[in-house]
Amino acid sequence: MLERTKVSFFLASRSILRGNKGITFFTIIVLTLVYLQLVFFSSVIGGVTLKFNDVLVDYQTGDLVVEPKQDELYISNVDALSKKIEHLPEVVGVSPRLRLKSSIAFKEKEVGATIYGIDANEEELVTKFESAMVEGEFISKLDRGEIVLGRELSGGYGAVMQSRSLEDVTVGDIVNVMINGQAKEFRVKGIYNTLFFMSDSSAFVNKEDLEDILDAEEKAHEIAIKIKDGADEEYVREEILSLGVQEEVRTWQEFAGILKIIEGTLSMVRNIFTAVGLIVAFVIIFVVIFVNIVSQKRQIGVQKAIGIEEEVIIASFVLQAMFYAFVAMVIGYSLMQFVFTGYTQSHPISAPIGKVSLDLSNSEAAIRAMMLFMAAVIGSLIPSYRMTKRSLLDLIWGAN
C-alpha cells in the first residue's frame, strides 16, 4: 500500500513539474477565484448577522430581558428587583421600562408606535440611543412632557416607510399620543436613527409620565439588562433566576425571530452561489485533467505495460487535482482573512443597517474547502478512471 502511494505521488509530482506551467497557473488562479466566491457570501452573511445582532442588543433588548410572570401584566417591586440584579458582577446596567402600543398624531397624520417609558440615566447604561440622535437630544431624567421619536415615526433621515410616518415632524413640534383612550400632548425633543427599522419605529418618554397615566408606580413591563463583554448570557440568566426571581428571564436571541428569517433567506442565496461555484470547480478540474490525460495517453499505456496498476495511475491524477485545489484554498483563504476581511474591519462597508465588516469563521472556511476538495476529486476521478480502463493497444496506438 505504501509503495503504491509513493508511486502515485511520484507520478503526480512529475506531471505537475513537467507539465504546462501556464495551464497549472491558470487552473490555480481560477480555483482560487472559485474558493473566494464560495467563502465571500458566507463572510458577508456572517458580517450582516453580527451587525443585526449588535443593533438588536444595542438598541432594543440589551443582553437579557426580564418580563412579567405568565398571566401578569406588570413586574411588581421593580426597584428592589433591579437592585438585586445590579449586584451581580457580570451586570453593567439595568433599565426598567413601561411599554405600550399606541398612536402618535401630528397635524393630519397618525401612525402606530411602541412607546417606552424609561429612566434616561438607567437606559444609558443598557442601550446606545444617545449616540444615535440625528436631531435634538435624548430625553433626560428630569424631562416631563417630552418625547423622542425614531426616524420611522418622524419621517426623513432615510426612513424605510416614509409614507407611513408623520413626515414633517421636527424638534420642538407638539404631537398627540393616545394613551388609555386619551390624547396627551408631548413636545418632540429629539429624533434618532439606529438604521434598524424595529427600533426606529419606537418612541421614548420619561417613565414618570407613563406611571402617572397608567397608575403603574413601582411597576414595569420589562427590565432590559446589559452584561459585560464576553459574559455568557445563559450563565447570567441562571444567576438571575438563582436570586429567587420568579419572572421570565430571556436572552436577546429569543427576540431575534425576524433576524433569523432574514439570515435564512441570505443563507438560501448563499447555497445557490455555492452550488454554482462547485459546478464551475468540477468542470474546470474535469477539463484540465482530461486534457492532461489525453496528452499523456501513450505514457499511461506504457505505465500499464510495465506493470503499474490502474489504481495507482488514477490516484496520481486525483493527487494533481488535490494539489491544485489545496494551493488555491491557501491563497484564497489568505486573501479573504488577511486582505479583504482585514480591510473591511478598518474600512467598514456602508449598508442600510450601518457599517458592516466581513466575518469569515474558520469552520465555515473549512466546510467550503472540503466542498472544493470533493469537487476536485470527483472532477479528476471520472476522466482518469475512464482513460485507464482503455486497452493497452488503444492507449498506445489508438487515436485520441
Confidence of residue 156 (pLDDT cuts 50, 70, 90): confident
d(CA 60, CA 129): 9
What pLDDT shows up at residue 225? Answer: 94
Alpha carbons 359 and 342: distance in angstroms, whole number: 9
Which pLDDT band holds residue 269 (cuts at 50, 70, 90)?
Answer: confident
Please classify residue 230 by burial: count the beta carbons closer than 10 Å to its beta carbon, then call 0-12 exposed, 13-18 middle and 19+ buried.
Answer: exposed
Q: What percent of the chain has pLDDT over 90?
A: 20
Question: Which amino acid is it at 214?
Answer: L
Q: Are 175 and 147 in contact (CB under 8 A)?
A: yes
* Mean of pLDDT values over 289-317: 71
Q: At 383, list the grid cell.
A: 476522466
pLDDT tens-digit map of 318-328: 888 888 888 98
Strands 202-206 and 109-118: what pairing? parallel
Cα–Cα dist 293/306, whole Å:
18
Cross-strand pairs, 69:
none
Task: Tell me the pLDDT tens digit for each residue of 163-178.
Answer: 788 887 889 999 999 8
- Backbone phi, then psi, for 32, in 5-degree steps? -65, -45
Give Dmax (Cα) for the chain: 99
β-partners of residue 113 are 102
Asked whether the beta carbons of 301 and 395 are under 8 A apart, the reply is yes
Residue 189 has pLDDT above 90, yes or no: yes
Q: Any bridge partners for residue 355, and if so which?
A: 350
Q: Is the pTM value of this prediction over 0.75?
A: no
Write the pLDDT tens digit of every residue in 338-395. 888 888 888 887 766 677 788 878 888 888 888 888 888 888 888 777 777 766 655 5
What is d(CA 374, CA 369) in angstroms, rounded to the nearest whole number? 9
The region of weakest confidence among 48-62, 108-122, 163-177, 266-280 is: 266-280
Segment 88-141, tens digit of pLDDT: 999 999 999 999 888 899 888 888 889 999 999 999 999 999 888 999 999 888
pLDDT at 279: 82
Residue 267 confidence class, pLDDT cut points 50, 70, 90: confident
Report d(CA 299, CA 114) in Å as an integer: 77
pLDDT at 285: 75
pLDDT value at 397 more than 80: no
Report the pLDDT value the prediction gives residue 190, as an integer from 0 to 100: 92
DSSP track, 54-88: HHHIIIIIBSEEEEPPTT-SSEESHHHHHHHHHTS
Supply the mean pLDDT for the chain. Answer: 82
Going by pLDDT thresholds of 50, 70 and 90, the confidence category of residue 226 is very high
Answer yes or no: are the C-beta atoms of 172 and 187 closer than 8 Å: yes
- According to the model, what pLDDT value does residue 302 have? 66
Rounded Cα gap, residues 215 and 237, in angstroms: 30
The sign one gets for the Cα dihedral 361, 362, 364, 365 is positive
Residues in CB range of 289: below 8 A, 6 or more apart? 317, 320, 321, 379, 380, 383, 384
Contact 47, 343 (CB under 8 A): no
**What grid cell was written down for 185?**
400632548
- Report pLDDT for 179: 81
75 neighbors 222 (Cβ within 8 angstroms): yes
Residue 241's H or E segment, with its range, is helix 233-242
Distance, CA of 119 to CA of 133 (rounded, Å): 17
Cα pseudo-dihedral 173, 138, 115, 193, rounded to 10: 90
